């Protein structure tokens, strides 16, 4: 874990998990990766340290969140849509 940069979290609507996708965009807004949310709305990315944008894509909504990933730490992000 000391050498990893992990960005993870959950996507919810009205405190309930939402099925959809989360995209990871670099500091220039370029697409880097995309993962589906789990049945509990969870997602996880293994990334390099730095500034990132998480884009939640769910039925009826798109929400962006800015995050900073730090090597050796888990960055936990809650996205409400």
**In a structure prediction context, what are the per-residue pLDDT tens digits for the chain, which is 81 residues long?**
678 899 999 999 999 999 999 999 999 999 999 999 999 999 999 999 999 999 999 999 999 999 999 999 999 999 999
- Mark 49-65 as b/e (b = at least 16 C-beta within 10 Å): eeebbbbbbbeeeebeb
Class of domain 5-75: mainly beta
Contact call for residues 51 and 64 (beta carbons, < 8 A): no
Q: The pTM is what?
A: 0.92
DSSP state of 73: S
At 71 the pLDDT is 95
At 3 the pLDDT is 80
At 68 the pLDDT is 97
Facing residues of 54 across strands?
24, 65
């Amino acid at each position: 874990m000391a050498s990893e940069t992990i960005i993870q979290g959950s996507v919810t609507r009205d405190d309930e998990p939402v099925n959809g996708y989360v995209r990871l965009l670099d500091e220039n807004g370029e697409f880097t990766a995309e993962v589906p949310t789990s049945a509990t709305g969870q997602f996880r990315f293994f990334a390099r340290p730095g500034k990132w944008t998480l884009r939640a894509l769910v039925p009826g909504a798109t929400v962006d969140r800015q995050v900073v990933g730090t090597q050796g730490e888990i960055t936990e992000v809650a996205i409400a849509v």
